[in-house]
């Protein structure tokens, strides 16, 4: 993580995590499971289908305690099959 990114957040903090995925059934559950490996909790994802129906935006609000937790979540979710981009 760059020095500029470190300065963006003050931990602990609430964080809006967004994954852009291919629209397949259950992918939001896979994203949430990946998040829960590093930030346990009962999460509800907000879903938004692209206009063409090919992609799905999965947004999850999480509470992070430190920078390492954020990095771990990004790495874990990035490894989920069907995830195309993380915001």
Structural domain of residue 41, as residue ranges? 3-86
pLDDT beyond 70 at 77: yes
Per-residue confidence band for 14, with pLDDT thresholds at 50, 70 and 90: very high
Which residues partner with 60 through β-bridges?
Answer: 17
What's the pLDDT at 34? 98
CATH of the domain at 13: 3.30.70.260
pLDDT beyond 60 at 18: yes
What's the pLDDT at 1? 52
24-46 per-position pLDDT tens digit: 999 999 999 999 999 999 999 99
pLDDT beyond 70 at 4: no
Q: What is the count of structural domains for the chain?
A: 1
Q: Please choose, from the candidates 68, 54, 60, 55, the residue with its C-alpha nearest in 3D space to the C-alpha of residue 31.
A: 60
């Amino acid at each position: 993580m760059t020095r500029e990114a470190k300065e963006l957040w003050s931990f602990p903090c609430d964080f809006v995590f967004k994954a852009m995925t291919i629209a397949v059934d259950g992918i939001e559950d896979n994203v949430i499971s990946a998040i829960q490996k590093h930030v346990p909790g009962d999460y509800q994802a907000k879903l938004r289908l692209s206009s063409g129906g090919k992609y799905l935006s999965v947004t999850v609000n999480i509470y992070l305690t430190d920078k390492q937790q954020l990095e771990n979540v990004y790495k874990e979710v990035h490894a989920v099959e069907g995830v195309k981009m993380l915001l």
